[in-house]
Homo-oligomer: A and B are copies of this chain.
Amino acid sequence: MKNHRKKRSSKSGLPPGTPVHIGEQKLEIMSLRALIYSEHAFQEFQTDRVDEIVPLATNPTNKWITVQGIHHIEGLQQLGAAFGLHPLVVEDIVNTDQRPKIEDYGDYLFIVLKAVSRHDQGHSLMVEQVSLIVGGNFVLCFLEGNDDPFVSLRERLRSEKGRLRKTGSDYLTYAHLDTIVDQYFPLLEKIGEDIEELENRLIAQADRESLRTLHQFKREMILLRKAIWPLREVLSHLERGESPLIQSSTHIYLRDVYDHTIQLIETTETYRDMLGGMMDIYLTSLSNKLNETMKVLTVIATIFIPLTFIVGVYGMNFKVMPELEWPWGYPLVMGVMLFLAIGMLWSFRRKHWI
């Protein structure tokens, strides 16, 4: 389905606010799920028709609406109109090339996040864009495809106990952010283990395969940085409490997520440092291998080239070469050469070459 991926360049020349789906189409149809909740009441339904969701916009109860499949532009525009979204917001939701950001539209906040997961085999990271619209009594959550990172959050909302039911859309937003940020920890732990394993392999033996893996890790880190760094800005904006949509009791929770984000950032930076150091190890490893090869060559050549010269001397055809007549000439020469060879080996040993 990769070739279905639409690119940003398909948008040039269009007026602003024209939503064009950019990215891979991950779902055939759009699916919507609404959770209407208050401290003691809870209602949930699922549909693939936007019309059924629209009336909720005027319902004063807290609600959380999840939209899966953002390629269905007409549906999104209808929803956007119902909840009073700016056309630029709808345009940004369908464009999955966004970087994580927060925008304050007065009546509502628009938050873009990235959910990153990793295929078990290979090093390809899967990045999904999660867009949140946070209003006074609603949270709209837009997902690209079927993968829903908020399953356990929905579970917690269904059960009557816990803060979620007692609080409003700001705490629910915090819960979304917390879920996304928490999701990076196991991913980074796994990458950290893989990096350590690679490091051990590199010290033992520097083959091209390791170089390629090292390079892939570097690119993974570039991708993760782009997903994680802007989170800091998003959370510090929320935590500073500039929006009246966020109640002060939630700030303490947002500060906690902010803290986790700083930890994520530090971890990625540490990994980048480690990967940078591993390139050095690889290079010194290559240099060491060359040294080894050259030592072997030098030892062999240094021992045998002089000996070959000596035997060449006694292979000359001069009429008058008295040594050739001596009965002990041959063993004598052989002895001398043996002595020479042993002497050289000894001197190489002293230089720690062999």
Contact = CB atoms under 8 A, between A and B. Distances in A.
Contacts of A252: 86, 88, 105
A123 interface: no
Contacts of A296: 298, 302
Interface in A150-193: 152, 156, 162-164, 174-175, 178-179, 182-183, 185-186, 189
Contacts of A277: 215, 218
B300 A290 contact: no
Number of copies: 5
Interface stretch (A27-35, A139-147, A305-313): A305-313
Interface in A113-161: 152, 156
Given A186-B9, A305-B300, A319 B325 contact: yes
Contacts of A163: 15, 17
Given A259-B101, A277-B218, A317-B317, A16 B324 contact: no
A296 to B, nearest CB: 6
Q: Could you tell me the dominant secondary structure of chain A's interface residues? A: helix
A201 interface: no
A237 B88 CA distance: 21
A219 B196 CA distance: 12
Interface string A286-315: 111111011111101110111111011111
A21 B333 CA distance: 74
B189 A7 contact: yes
A162 B15 contact: yes
A343 interface: no
A253 B333 CA distance: 85
Contact of A311 (B186, B281, B316, B320): B316
Given A15-B163, A226-B270, A290-B291, 14 more contacts: A7-B186, A8-B189, A15-B164, A88-B252, A92-B256, A101-B259, A294-B297, A296-B298, A300-B301, A308-B312, A311-B316, A314-B317, A317-B317, A320-B327
Interface of A: 7-9, 11-13, 15-17, 86, 88, 92, 97-99, 101, 103, 105, 152, 156, 162-164, 174-175, 178-179, 182-183, 185-186, 189, 203, 208, 211-212, 215, 218-219, 222, 226, 252-253, 255-256, 259, 262-263, 266, 270, 273-274, 277, 279-284, 286-291, 293-298, 300-302, 304-309, 311-321, 323-330, 333-334, 353
16 contacts: A9-B189, A12-B186, A16-B175, A88-B253, A99-B259, A105-B252, A215-B281, A290-B291, A290-B294, A291-B293, A297-B301, A304-B308, A307-B309, A308-B312, A312-B315, A315-B317
